[in-house]
Amino acid sequence: MMKVQHEPPTPFELFGVDAGKGWRPLIEPIYQRIQQLNAEGANIEVSQIKEKFGMLRIYVHNAPDEIHEMILGAERQSIHICEDCGEPAKRVVGEHKWIYTLCPKCLEKRGIKVIETIEEANTRRG
Ligand SMILES: [Zn+2]
């Protein structure tokens, strides 16, 4: 279900970020730094920002190490932050083995039945 919004589109919306709002605070500083570097003559391209296996993924081209380090940090943090609302969350496995990082409230809102946490899944596998 989509909530209709009447605010002007943010750079994220214009850009087409395929991840929930809860992760925006992770993406924003990276996006701003990229814009800053590009204004100074860099040619960094953001090819994709999305959720994959319950983790934020940011794909860039022509980026310096500094940006790659920022991205790595954000991706690592994302597995502890609810993708939808930004509250603390755990990575969980739902039906059909889909992986989400959502807080209990947002899991319920999306109607996701949790099978186990990632930790449980990893323990079982190991
Ligand atoms: Zn949430």
Tell me, in angstroms, the distance from the centre of ligand 1 to residue 124's CA.
Answer: 26
DSSP state at residue 85: T
Give the model's pLDDT for residue 93. 96
Residue 106 belongs to what H/E stretch? helix 104-110
In the chain, the largest separation of any two C-alpha atoms, in whole Å, equals 50
Tell me, in angstroms, the distance from the centre of ligand 1 to residue 94's CA.
Answer: 15
Report the percent of the chain where pLDDT is more than 70: 87
Nearest to 76 by CA among 94, 54, 61: 54
- For residue 13, report the phi and psi dihedrals to the nearest 5 degrees: -70, -40
Tell me, in angstroms, the distance from the centre of ligand 1 to residue 22's CA.
Answer: 7
- pTM for this model (two decimals): 0.84
Higher pLDDT, 78 or 13: 78
Alpha-carbon distance of 60 to 44, in angstroms, equals 7
Convert the pLDDT of each residue in 4-29 to its tens digit: 556 665 555 556 688 999 999 999 99
